Amino acid sequence: MSNSTLLLKTVLFFILVLAGGIATAQVRVYGTVYDRSGRFGMPYVSVMSSSGGGTVTDSLGRYSLNMAPADSLSFSYQGKATMKIPVAEIPRNRPFDTKIHVDVTTLPTVIVEEKRRTYQMDSIANRMEYQKVFNFSPEYISTGSTVVGFNLDALLSMRKIKRMERFRDHLIELEQEDYVNHRFNKALVKKLTGISDSTALEAFMQRYRPSYYQILEYDTEYDYFRYIKDLARYFRYDWKREHPESK
């Protein structure tokens, strides 16, 4: 066995041991992000780890993120980031809640304006907010080590790369869900199907919600609308059979 091969195996062994130790030492940080008043949970706030991981708060402002003890936590909303908070200073086993400096008097206006925005505007804003994640592209460059083709820096950063890729996949999934919400909304479905009963309409929306890739399969709007209308015929038959008391 050559010296270079032995060195490579030894270094890889210690890296795997180190990575395993980091994985087992990870802690779960969770909580809620509120507005300035502390009464309203803030949705769509980005929660970032200094090691490259991240998530987004849900509709109630809640978040959960696994982090290493040496990491730092920061929050970002509408392009403005908070100071980084070391995980070591965050209390364990209890929620870590924080506030974003948004005035409570302007929050309802912000929510109303967000509802008026088009899907295209939201998508562009989302790409700008997380451009570092979407544009993330790891580079493996030879360091000139005595072991040919071996890049210690690249191996050490593999965990960060994986976290960034998972976060990017999560953001893409959210973007695709927003696209489905935009193309398959109650106003459009009600207009195409003629279903006026709110309970029946909600049931139709849940039962026949298409996937992102399913919508992309339709070449024209006409084909997509015809698909919804065809589903409505089957739905009416099943709905009357399941709810004979309804008209």
Q: What are the structural domains, with CATH classification, of the chain?
A: 3-180 (2.60.40.10), 185-242 (no CATH)
Q: For the chain, how big is the Rg over CA atoms in Å?
A: 24
The DSSP 8-state label assigned to residue 33 in this structure reads: E
Dig out the tokens for 146 from the structure. Answer: 């005595």
Poorest-confidence range of 109-118, 120-129, 180-189, 202-211? 109-118
Taking residues 85-102, what's their average pLDDT? Answer: 88
**pTM as predicted:** 0.47
- pLDDT per position as a tens digit, 95-138: 999 988 765 444 433 333 344 445 555 565 665 565 665 565 55
Burial of 223 by CB count in 10 Å (0-12 exposed, 13-18 middle, 19+ buried)? exposed
The DSSP 8-state label assigned to residue 89 in this structure reads: G
pLDDT band of 72, cuts 50, 70, 90: very high
Given a cut of 90, is residue 37 above it in pLDDT? Answer: no
205 backbone dihedrals φ, ψ, rounded to 5°: -60, -40
Q: 56 - beta bridge partners?
A: 46
Q: Helix, strand, or coil here: 118?
A: coil
